[in-house]
Amino acid sequence: MPVRTLQVELHPAELPVVAGQPVVVRVDILNTSTVIDAYRVRILGLDPAWVETDPASLSLFPGATGSVTAIVTLPDRFAAGTHRFSVQVYSERDDAEYQLVDLRLHVGEVERLDARLEPPVMTVSRRARFGLVLTNNGNAEVAVRPE
């Protein structure tokens, strides 16, 4: 088994999320190798467009520790519930050198129900029949019973 030349910790490693609102995870990295190395962070299982890292690349001397801030913004309709992802910290010097750390996001339910009449306008003399169209634009199931 190869010797790991980096250590990684997440702060926090588990957090609540509201879809559409950014959350911040600090990724602490320790370079345990004997050479200067640069590291990048990505979150496996998430679209890269939903994750911003600052700095994009972190250069560390041997024995040095540094941090990368990962800002995650899930789309509005991201499914509610607990989701597990892997944060990958990898070396720019050696593709085989990386560390995976678990990240748990607890995405809260957002109920957003839109209603409209079909057809929206009708010219009639006495009676008309309309349909009610309901659209769930949230991220969780909604039980509805029109009365």
What pLDDT, in 10s, does the model give residues 97-141? 999 999 999 999 887 778 888 887 777 778 878 787 888 877 778
Q: DSSP letters of the chain?
A: -PPP-EEEEEESSEEEE-TTS-EEEEEEEEE-SSS-EEEEEEEETS-GGGEEEESSSEEE-TT-EEEEEEEE---TTPPPEEEEEEEEEEESS-TT-EEEEEEEEEEPP---EEEEEESS----SS----EEEEEE-SSS-------
Please tell me the pTM assigned to this model: 0.79
What pLDDT, in 10s, does the model give residues 44-98? 999 999 999 999 999 999 999 999 999 999 998 899 999 999 999 999 998 889 9
Among residues 81, 85, 72, 71, which one has the least CA distance to residue 139?
Answer: 81
